[in-house]
Structure 1
Amino acid sequence: MRYPMEFQDKTMVITGAAGIFGGWTAAYFAKRGAKLCLSDIRMDALEKVAADLNLDPATTLLHATELTSDASMLDLVDLVRREWKAPDILVNNAGIYTRFSLLDMELADWDRVFGVNLRAPFVLTREMAKLMIAEGKKGSVINISSGAARKMNQNSVPYCTSKTAIERLSKGFAMELAHHGIRVNIVEPGFAPGSEVSALDDAYVQNMLKNIPLGRASGPDDAPGAIAYLCSDQAAFITGAVLSVDGGNSIGNYKRPEPAAPASAG
């Protein structure tokens, strides 16, 4: 299948690239001509993504990044600077979803959630934006959030709080980077079961699916398509926006109607 090469030779950094949404985003943009820098905590997982997508080693960058380490993040930035001078697109996709009662959660777990979900996007957006400014690139930053930014979930308070914060941070960056021509937007992907990091049992998955108005989980082109739109020239006048791509899941409480009983014979 031939795809429109709308991102031909655009350079793109994706964190959490070995996860579900990261992998889907890498696949979507690779098919459309982008040169990718894939970042995740495990190099073997990144190598598998690159192999599965048949990415060209000559134009693909891989970096094992520990997003709670300043040195590791700055090493990623330096790799991008050496190879590309500056990226065209940064997608801060990596995130940690934990299920802890606040009374039971260790301080180290709290710090790691906020380190990966909030501090890392701050550091990487700041540093990648400096590269864009130095090269005169009118780049695009996409921060991956969640409908949890607006809806508190029991036993997931740190995650929800971090996603509320990343949306506010994104709007702040959008305001401060606007005069450099750098746009910063937010995508809230929908529910996608299957994560190896945050495994979900079947009962939880089925209950979640019943509450999605459009009746299905997120697919491989849903969130990446929204990211592509926000990074495209068609969205040149959009910054600081939040785009929910979740089948209506974040609208509010929803109960799927029961199937109508068959009419009885006369």
Structure 2
Amino acid sequence: MRHVLVTGAASGIGRAVAEAFHQDGARLSLVDIDPEGLRATAGRLGAHSLVSDLTGPTAPEEMVAHCWETTGPVDVLVNAAGLYPSLDTLELRAPEWDRVFALNTRAPALATAELARRAVAAGLPASVVHISSGAALRSRPGGGPYAASKAALELATRAAALELGEYGIRVNAVSPGFVTVDSTCNPVAPAYAAAASGNPLGRPGTPADIAAAVRWIAGPEATWITGEVLRVDGGSSTGVRDLPRIWPPRPPGDDGATRTTRDTKEQR
């Protein structure tokens, strides 16, 4: 029976990930800063729980140590806790920047390092899955610190995978597109939600969509995959579907000759 440690497990993607592994019969250690939400999720799933603010400099290592010593060696670590404030560049100050990076980048990296130390010492394999974001590839107004933190997380994923593979420790990331979650910590304006849902598949994602990808990439069917970022985004990373066409669609019977002439003149 695998022991799965999930951060950000009180709600949203983290809770869905915990539910997915619970269905597989895994032993669960769940971590969040929200005591009430965590208590509800852990109680329903029969999981061990730990309330922790992972922005603390030693909190990630202490979390792994506590869960390892309380529930046994950790087989899977899922770093789902995250913070995505809206911070325009003109408003940005060091405390806000540091808090975003502390939770979104430093905490996963330090938790991975502590897990790796313990797994290597015990001669055990392990699998780590970070929750990244499509923001790692492109920002949005007010999203600079968040986007930068996720871009850094994706490189940290590859770096850890490179160094830890020889010990049987796989490190991957799952990158969601826009996912509808009920979050009081990270609220999303309705207008943003409507605009962000315009992906090729025509709907926003759900926490269950992301949880299924996490369970797969952490599991036995993906044992030769490490250092990868699996984009689960309804195709939104392929481009912008709702931009107008450069040229209108061809009318019936148009062989394209007229458009080709116009394109050639335009490029000169």
Q: Deviations over 1:136-178 (max 9, x none)?
A: 2211000110111111212110000011100000000000000
Q: Give the SS at the match of 1:221.
A: helix
Match of 1:195 among 157, 162, 183: 183
What TM-score results when the alignment is normalised by the length of structure 2?
0.86
Alpha-carbon distance, 1:222 to partner: 1.1
Determine the structure 2 residue equivalent to 1:264. Answer: none
Amino acid at match of 2:109: F
**What secondary structure is seen at the aligned counterpart in 1 of 2:4?**
strand
Distance in 2, Cα, partners of 1:70 & 1:110: 15
Number of matched residues?
243
Deviation, structure 1 residue 106? 2.5
Give the equivalent residue in structure 1 for 2:144. Answer: 157
SS at 1:70's partner residue?
coil
Does 1:41 find its partner at 2:33? Answer: yes
Q: Relative to structure 2, which stretch is displaced further, 35-44 or 87-96?
A: 35-44
1:78 is displaced (CA, Å) by 2.2
> Using the alignment, how far apart are the partners of 1:117 and 1:72 within structure 2?
13
Query: For residues 207 and 70 of structure 1, what CA distance do their matches in structure 2 show?
Result: 36
Deviates more, 1:163-172 or 1:127-136: 127-136
* 8 Å Cα contact 1:213-1:256 kept in structure 2: no
List aligned pairs for 1:246-257, cutoff 5 A.
246-255=233-242
Residue identity matched to 1:131: R
Pairing 1:145–2:137 present? no
Is contact 2:11–2:37 with CA below 8 Å preserved after alignment?
no
Q: Counterpart of 1:55 in structure 2: which amino acid?
A: L
**Deviation of 1:256 (Å):** 8.3
Residue 153 of structure 2 aligns with which residue?
166
In the TM superposition, what is the alpha-carbon distance from 1:249 to its structure 2 partner? Answer: 1.3
Instruction: Name the CA distance, whole Å, in 2 between partners of 1:177 and 1:15.
Output: 21
* Mapping of residues 199-238 of structure 1, within 5 Å: 199-209=187-197, 211-238=198-225
Distance 1:77 1:32 in 2: 22
Tell me, yes or no, if structure 1 residue 62 matches structure 2 residue 49. Answer: yes
Q: Percent identity?
A: 37
Larger radius of gyration: 2
In the aligned structure 2, how far is the partner of 1:143 from the partner of 1:95? 10
Runs of 4 or more off by more than 6 Å in structure 1?
Answer: none
Alignment of 1:4-83 (within 5 A): 9-51=1-43, 54-56=44-46, 60-83=47-70
Letter in 1 for 2:59: S
2:161–2:169 CA contact under 8 A, matched in 1: yes
Distance in 2 separating the partners of 1:222 and 1:112: 28
How far apart are the structure 2 equivalents of 1:82 and 1:68? 22
For residue 149 of structure 2, give the secondary structure of its aligned residue in structure 1: helix
Unaligned runs of 5+ in 1: 1-8, 258-266
Secondary structure class of the residue paired with 1:161: helix
How far the C-alpha of 1:44 sits from its partner, in A, is 1.9
Distance 2:207 2:189 in 1: 21
Preserved contact between residue 85 and residue 131 of structure 1 (Cα < 8 Å): no
Contact 2:131 2:173 in 1 (8 A): yes
The AA in structure 1 aligned to 2:5 is: V
Q: Provide, for residues 171-215 of structure 1, a one-character-per-residue CA deviation record: whole Å limited to 9, x for no partner.
A: 000000000010000100121233221212222222222x21101
Q: Output the CA distance in 1 between the equivalents of 2:139 and 2:191.
A: 21
Measured in 2, the distance between the counterparts of 1:75 and 1:86 equals 14
